[in-house]
């Protein structure tokens, strides 16, 4: 699988990129995306890169590191549980982390339902008191 990334420009543009290509080196970040002229690299060191998890939510949207996801955890013997948190990689596994409640859940599951409700850069308020 080829790693896929998106990038958030936290500088003056405050926008999300879906780059076609990403290159990192010598403290610089280069991307080629829809704004690139004739396929030239854009250099922008204000970018925060987020890797795709390779999974999609219940609406078919690709889930990236930095997304805020609501997961309904199906429990066969008890009521369903819901966790809302930030997608983070920890020790090689994608997790939904909720620091306020000190909870974490594996993103991948055969029975749980995930839905992207925002991301840490554009919707940080979604993580407050959750």
Say yes or no to pLDDT of 13 above 90.
Answer: no
User: pLDDT category, 75, cuts 50, 70, 90?
Assistant: confident
> Residue 87's closest CA among 71, 76, 111?
71
Measure Cα distances from 37 to 16, 19, 20, 79 in Å. 18, 13, 13, 53
Angle 98-92-27 from CA coordinates, rounded to 5°: 90
Q: What is the pTM of this model?
A: 0.85
Q: Of the given ranges (12-16, 83-87, 113-117), which has the lowest mean pLDDT?
A: 12-16
Identify whether the C-beta of residue 8 lies closer than 8 Å to the C-beta of residue 50.
Answer: yes
CA end-to-end distance (rounded Å), the chain: 33
> Residue 24's closest CA among 48, 2, 58?
48
d(CA 52, CA 65): 6
> Residue 105's closest CA among 79, 129, 78, 73?
73
Structure confidence by residue, pLDDT tens digits, 24-69? 888 888 888 877 777 778 787 788 999 999 999 999 999 999 999 9
- Domains and their CATH numbers in the chain: 5-49 (no CATH), 54-127 (2.30.30.290)
* 119's tokens: 């991301």
Give the residue carrying structure tokens 């554009």: 122
Question: How high is the pLDDT of residue 54?
Answer: 93
User: pLDDT category, 129, cuts 50, 70, 90?
Assistant: low
């Amino acid at each position: 699988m080829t790693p896929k990334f998106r990038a958030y420009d936290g500088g003056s543009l405050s926008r999300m990129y879906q780059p076609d290509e990403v290159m990192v080196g010598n403290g610089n970040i280069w991307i080629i995306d829809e704004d690139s002229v004739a396929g030239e690299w854009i250099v922008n060191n204000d970018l925060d890169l987020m890797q795709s998890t390779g999974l999609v939510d219940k609406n078919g949207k690709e889930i990236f590191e930095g997304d805020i996801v609501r997961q309904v955890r199906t429990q066969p013997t008890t009521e369903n549980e819901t966790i809302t948190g930030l997608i983070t990689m920890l020790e090689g596994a994608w997790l939904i982390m909720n620091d306020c409640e000190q909870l974490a859940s594996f993103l991948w599951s055969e029975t749980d339902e995930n839905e992207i409700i925002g991301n840490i850069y554009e919707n940080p308020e979604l993580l407050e008191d959750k």
